[in-house]
Amino acid sequence: MRGVAQIIAWLESRSGIGAFVRPLLSHRVPASAKWWYVFGSATLMFFVIQVVTGVCLATVYAPSAAEAWESLRYIDSSVPSGWMIRALHGWSSNAMVVMMAVHMLQVFVHASYKYPRELNWISGVALLLVVLALAFTGQVMRWDQDAYWGLGIGASIVDRVPLVGSAMRDLLLGGPIIGGETLTRFFALHVFVLPGAAIALVGLHLALIMRHGISEMPRPDAPVVPSTYVREYEARMEREGVPFHPDASRRDLVFCGACLIALVALAAVYGPFGPGGRPDPTLIEANPRPDYPFMWIFGAVSLLPPSSETLVMLAAPAVIVAWLFLVPLLGSAGERAPSRRPGMVLAAALAVIAIASLTWEGITSPWSPVMDAWSALPTPEAMTRGRTPLELQGAVVFQYAQCRNCHALEGMGGQRGPELDAIATRMTSEQLTRQVQQGGGNMPAYGRNLSSAQMSALVAFLSTLKPQGEAPADIPGALLPLPHR
Amino acid sequence: MAVGAALAGIPIVSFVIGPARKRFEPQWISLGECAVFPEGTTRFATFVNPLRQPTNGESIKTACWVRCVKTGSEYQVFAINCAHLGCPVRWFEQSRLFLCPCHGGAYYEDGSRAAGPPPRGLFEYPWKVEAGRLLIDGARLPGLEDTA
């Protein structure tokens, strides 16, 4: 026993590890922190899971465009626990992004970024960018159809940068096409550059937490005054603070444990993400969708008007990121309580609502045509009953000319254009003919694409689409306001 | 030290930014006999990109749409990539439209923009007919700097 103690004493005297670790455990934290402060620890735990499972995957994964997809299938099917490691890596990646957002939201709402913790926040924003870059490059690692076309979307956005867009795109893709060097390039980013940056930033983030201490829960009428803050904080910690270990760390451990159990359950039940379809770009039945962390961007770019699209696509990320970096510098003193900062709380709430609803829009993608609606969906029976041969022929034209891909009948079909169940109450047959022929309002013109026989049959069918008993659009005195004929 | 850093830095920087500096000569790729593309139709065609790298696998395969207006003398060869954000567009013979699955971009049969978010019509590859075969210059992924 004495020998062991001597070895430990020697190690301590030469390395100073104990002197480094002891303050990490014993530093005093505010007793008021309670359960609000567990999200950062959980984010870090997910990052550790990512490093461990990522190293595991790298021992088998082949970062070659010719073999990556097969090697993932091999990991899923033949490597012991391979599918589970992939599932953990995928789910933990999403969980890390979500937990990071929650952590950031808590810090933002409680204004913990104020003096003297401005750099804590700024290093956190840098971490956010690194983690999002890890998520995007990770999606590329799957090297399936979503990865391939997702790169195409990334390239098309970069391509819109004025003057240097084309060169930037080649730099991103590692050449003039999406190919082998694109994958190796993203692999180097995903396993060397970005994790290295993340580890360095996590180290800085933690060092700053040690330097400035954990912020207290905000109270109204207790503004941050830079000239006296540090002295008062240290005095209060001396008086009311509790040691990080075990008082606060036990909550971190309980929360992280619960997160870990939830992660394993999700991974075990839902399994790994993809790989989706083979990375063969001539299989054009692809329906590319990004991973969840980018779904809101996918939604946003579909809802922008084309005229302002490029500007918003390029300027919005720059403005948002710049604002995030500047938040603590623009308001480093003053009130921290949410009740005294209604504007900031509102901004946070709006951001959450916007991202959540854009994510939902992205998942449901109502603007996307349903590519097989025209051949796969039945014409609702009620719309065929008692119809003339011409009207029935129109129903056939409606399917045949892919109208159904964008227009739903009885809720089935594309959502890109309006549902047409009651179109005859809104438009007369003349208006219908004009709309189909000339298009407009985001509809292509079909004038050259349909024969006049097809056109009259189609309009005859559309003119029957109204709920029973309701007046058609062209009877004078119809209740609905009509555009002038 | 500064001299040493510069000497070591030059190859590192040139390696990293290499892909953005490379310039490519047009490379004519055969899509096959002209007879494969009947007059008045739009057909799907695939080719293997000549910018082959050792590790490309099947991702080097490329697709395009060939519209034959007049056999042997008038063609339009459209890149598969939507001009909006690069997703693969599909041709619908019946409505004579190209539709994009991502954000609903639509194009007429001559490639011009019909509806949706695309800022322009479909990208076209330069083509020529030689010895009865249709050739295109289709090596590069098309982008907004392309005027055709």
Per-residue model confidence as pLDDT tens digits over A299-346? 888 888 878 888 888 899 999 999 999 999 998 999 999 999 999 999
In terms of average pLDDT, the best of A17-26, A252-261, A459-468, B45-54 is: A252-261
What is the pLDDT at residue A483? 55
pLDDT at A485: 46
As to burial, measured by CB atoms within 10 angstroms (0-12 exposed, 13-18 middle, 19+ buried), residue A139 is buried
Q: Where residue A358 falls among pLDDT bands split at 50, 70, 90? A: very high
- For the range A427-430, what are the long-range contacts, defined as Cβ-Cβ under 8 Å and sequence gap of 24 or more? A427/A462, A427/A473, A428/A463, A428/A472, A428/A473, A428/A474, A428/A482, A428/A485, A429/A459, A429/A460, A429/A462, A429/A463, A429/A474, A430/A474, A430/A485
- Pick the residue of B12, B14, B21, B102 with the most A CBs within 10 A to test the interface with A by mutation: B102
Residue B106: per-residue pLDDT: 92
Whether the predicted pLDDT of A377 surpasses 70: yes
Segment A339-368 shows an average pLDDT of 93
Identify which of A175, A298, A449 has the shortest CB distance to residue B96. A449
Nearest to A152 among B86, B117, B118 (CB): B86
Interchain pair A175, B58: CB under 8 A: no
Q: Which pLDDT belongs to residue A192?
A: 96
Q: Are A270 and A92 in contact (CB under 8 A)?
A: no
> Helix, strand, coil proportions of chain A in percent (round to 5)?
65, 0, 30
- Asked whether the predicted pLDDT for residue B115 surpasses 60, the reply is yes
Task: Calculate mean pLDDT across residues A74-82.
Answer: 95
CB contact under 8 Å between A176 and B119, yes or no, is no
As a whole number, the mean pLDDT across chain A is 91
Overall average pLDDT of the A211-219 stretch: 91
pLDDT at A424 (0 to 100):
87
CA distances from A36 to A40, A102, A215, A256 (A): 10, 10, 11, 13
pLDDT of residue A474: 64
Residue B25 contacts A, CB cutoff 8 Å: no
Give me the pLDDT at residue A484, please. Answer: 52
Which pLDDT belongs to residue B145? Answer: 63
Of A160, A310, A371, the CB nearest to B90: A371
C-alpha distances in angstroms, A328 versus A50, A126, A317?
29, 14, 19
Residue B141 has pLDDT above 90, yes or no: no
- A380 inside 8 A of chain B by CB: no
Give me chain B's average pLDDT, please. 88
Contact between B55 and A184 using a beta-carbon 8 Å cutoff: yes
A418 touches chain B (CB under 8 A): no
Residues of A in contact with B89 (CB under 8 A): 284
Confidence of residue B92 (pLDDT cuts 50, 70, 90): very high
Q: Does A253 touch chain B (CB under 8 A)?
A: no
Greatest mean pLDDT among A23-27, A88-92, B83-87 lies in A88-92
Cβ-defined contact of A284 to B63 (cutoff 8 Å): yes
Query: Please, which pLDDT band fits residue B3 given cuts at 50, 70 and 90?
Result: very high
Shortest Cα–Cα distance, B43 to chain A (Å): 13
Considering only the beta carbons, identify the residue of B22, B63, B100 that sits closest to A282: B63
**Spatial distance between the Cα atoms of A250 and A37, rounded to a whole number of angstroms:** 12
pLDDT at B59: 87
Summarize pLDDT for A398-440 with one digit per residue, the tens: 999 999 999 999 989 998 889 999 898 888 888 899 999 998 8
